[in-house]
Amino acid sequence: MFENYKVFKTEIAGRPLVVETGKLAGLANGSCLIRYGDTSILATATASAKPREGIDFLPLSVDFDERLYAVGRIPGGFLRREGRPSEKAILTSRVIDRPIRPLFPKDLRNDVAINLLVLSVDNDCAPEVTAMLGASIALSISDIPWNGPIAGVHVGLVDGELVINPTSEQREKSALQLTVAGSEKKVVMIEAGANEVDDDTMFDAIMLGHEEDKKLCAFINGIVAEVGKPKFSYPSCELDHDMFDEIFAFCEKDLMNALDTDDKTVRDARMQPIQDAILEKFSEKYENLDVMLPELVYKMQKKVVRRWLLVDHKRVDGRKLDEIRPLAAEVDVLPRVHGCGLFTRGQTQVLTVATLGTIKDAQMLDTIDEEESKRYMHHYNMPGFSTGEAKPTRSPGRREIGHGALAERSLIPVLPSVEEFPYAIRCVSEVVSSNGSTSQASVCGSTLALMAAGVPIKAPVAGISCGLITEGDQWMTMIDIQGVEDFYGDMDFKVAGTHKGITSIQMDLKIDGLTPEIIKEALKVTHAGRDYIIDEILLKAIPAPRPEVNEFAPKMITMHIKTEKIREVIGKGGEVIQKICADTGAKIDIEEDGTIYIAAVNRDSGLAAKAAIDAICFEPEEGAVYTGTVTRIIPIGAFVEFAPGKEGMVHIKDLSNKFVEKVEDVVNEGDTITVKFLGVDEKGRYNLSVKALLPKLPEEETGRPPRAPRAERGERPGRERRPFRRGDKKD
């Protein structure tokens, strides 16, 4: 039935990789079922028959579709089916999009859709890497024009050793989570989260990953040789070169004058009359010029900016290639929030606000990933006004989610553990002005906000970007690229980290890849940049994390109880814990292992809740000494509260090392006395003693009345001797 069915096999990191073609999704332009271990993904590539009209970009979409049946789970929620993509799915789609997009022809305008359907998951074989390989294979064997293939692998750092595609167990202890995508010749994408990894180790990891990519690209080329289709032809949407040259010559000087400023607003204002003049002069000569104008203006600006950089070593704002824009930082710009930081770099400005909550505020996750919750959340918002655009606010798009995740990944390595700092933490970065590198500005603003909130981070983190211009074999980098250099350049290489090492990398490319020399240079210049920002800007705004959390933040107390005591603390139907919360005003979260987190508006309320729990869980130790208060007196002894809610009795004979006629001769209600815990009797009562703490006296010093011989004692008053009965033992 399946005449074109083919199977191709290889290995990655000692685990089998199997690719099946010609069996599933036969109507797509290209498809394959790819299995890595027990991870299975159906990868398809589909293109529209005709170009989309009226656009100046490639309409490419990449969708990583999670199915919870892949991990044997039923989705949560009322509908019990998958809804909008999870954050992890969106991030994976972006990671796959970035290496494949630059390899499409620049003049292709046909819609292209890449779909990666996750069918089963083996946690030792990451579905993200499997999906990237599947996308590359589906495109390579399809008839869609594409200059691939590419391949991708994960690289970990486990016990000081670099590991390709680490297993689930290895990922748990890995100091590096690096994804490297590459062609047979160059690196095309880098995405990393790291626990302060040094530049040399990071470079070695990238190179190791690329070597594995080369082998996989050779494997994919073997598949293409057997089952690949010829690429279809398409109408080129390239601008007419004669038209471009004529219009560029007409407005070249005006363009150079418009771009020669560090103010984005001024630049945009200068460009408007140039566009009006072009339309007025050339509309009759060139049909649909108004439709082509945005792409035309983009390419003319790009030509000027790239020529300045490559030939004149001139930047649009007059900076040197290794010079960072003017910087500023401050904290506490908002009242009542738990912590905030404002970071400004040129015309890019980000305000980050940190909020502290209880552990119960941690985000619950419902994905195919092993992670079920996270206590640190970072969200990024970029409204229209930040770029001077008049547009309504919408829910966050893929870009906003991606930038928030990048900042989150950058800061996780320096956060204190939950044992050190028992809070859930949320940072929100509001981009209030944007002219390039907002994601890295949000990293800097978040460092300020966390320190201002009293989060004891291990070290401040700063982020900076590096740009690239290439022309043949000629290339040059520049630090801290602004928007126009990002638009018209070839690379945005973002690196965040501490003085000690890198915590995150994200690389976006518009060319076919990077050489090792460019990667090494990018790591070098970004390290110098972040060191400068940390020392000269961040630490001058706030030299260290605040010693205490903000007055408006909840005060947290952590305690541990025996697991068998959890039921007593909660009480029947939760009545005990609810009463403690009502009496003290505190919030209490109890974990299964007996860890208790107490959150209160002020520390006194938290301590009151802790004291109430301590009282419930208190178990006195035999032989231990306690100080307590006499609560009541009876003829045979005194009751003493020796711990909150714990009361025991000191028998009259144990009140003193001397004879006691009446209890009141020694103690009265309200007295504070020190007692020794003797143990628990058969009825569960606590027995206490004062006498056990005092020195033993000779009999004559105790004051005890001499004891008469038995024959002289007679009967005690009020007691009659019972008559002898049969069966009684005779004396």
pLDDT computed for residue 461 by the predictor? 98
Residue 238: pLDDT band (50, 70, 90) is confident
State which fold the 6-227 domain adopts. Ribosomal Protein S5; domain 2 (3.30.230)
Which of the residue ranges 173-182, 397-406, 655-664 would you say has the lowest mean pLDDT? 655-664
Is the CATH number 1.10.3470 carried by domain 241-312? no
CATH architecture label of 625-705: Beta Barrel (2.40)
DSSP of 503-555? EEEEEEESSS-B-HHHHHHHHHHHHHHHHHHIIIIIHHH-SS--SS--TTSPE
Residue 312: pLDDT band (50, 70, 90) is confident
pLDDT computed for residue 300 by the predictor? 93
Q: What is the H or E stretch that residue 38 is in?
A: none
Per-residue b or e along 503-536, where b marks 16 or more CB atoms closer than 10 Å to that residue's CB: bbbbbbbbeebbeeebbebbbebbbebbeebbee
Break the chain into its structural domains and give their ranges: 6-227, 241-312, 327-541, 555-617, 625-705
Nearest alpha-carbon partner for 652 in 691, 626, 625: 691
Single pTM value for the model: 0.84
Question: pLDDT, tens digit, for every residue of 104-115?
Answer: 999 999 999 999
> Looking at the predicted structure, is the pLDDT value of residue 668 above 90?
yes
Instruction: Find all residues with CB under 8 Å of 162, minimum gap 6, and list them.
Output: 155, 156, 176, 201, 204, 205, 208
> Looking at the predicted structure, is the pLDDT value of residue 728 above 70?
no
Residue 711: pLDDT band (50, 70, 90) is low
> Looking at the predicted structure, is the pLDDT value of residue 22 above 90?
yes
> Looking at the predicted structure, is the pLDDT value of residue 664 above 60?
yes
> Looking at the predicted structure, is the pLDDT value of residue 373 above 60?
yes
State which fold the 327-541 domain adopts. Ribosomal Protein S5; domain 2 (3.30.230)
In terms of Cβ atoms closer than 10 Å to its own Cβ (0-12, 13-18, 19+), residue 89 is buried
> Looking at the predicted structure, is the pLDDT value of residue 103 above 60?
yes
State which fold the 555-617 domain adopts. Ribosomal Protein S8; Chain: A, domain 1 (3.30.1370)
% of residues, the chain, pLDDT over 90: 67
Question: pLDDT, tens digit, for every residue of 600-613?
Answer: 888 889 899 998 89
pLDDT computed for residue 370 by the predictor? 80
- Would you mind telling me the total number of residues written for the chain in this entry? 731
Mean pLDDT of 286-294: 86
Question: pLDDT, tens digit, for every residue of 500-511?
Answer: 999 999 998 999
**Amino acid letter for position 220:** I
Tokens for 685, please give them: 């009562």
Tokens for 599, please give them: 């959150």
Question: pLDDT, tens digit, for every residue of 514-552?
Answer: 999 999 999 999 999 999 999 999 999 999 999 999 888
pLDDT computed for residue 445 by the predictor? 97
Residue 138: pLDDT band (50, 70, 90) is very high
pLDDT computed for residue 218 by the predictor? 97
Tokens for 496, please give them: 């965040």
Check: CB of residue 256 under 8 Å from CB of residue 270.
Answer: no
pLDDT computed for residue 720 by the predictor? 53
- Other CB atoms within 10 A of residue 602 CB: 13
Per CATH, 6-227 and 555-617 having the same topology is answered no
pLDDT computed for residue 714 by the predictor? 53
Mean pLDDT of 12-20: 96
Mean pLDDT of 34-58: 93
> Edge to edge, what strands does the sheet with 555-560 contain?
555-560, 595-600, 587-590
For all residues of the chain together, what is the average pLDDT? 91
Residue 707: pLDDT band (50, 70, 90) is low
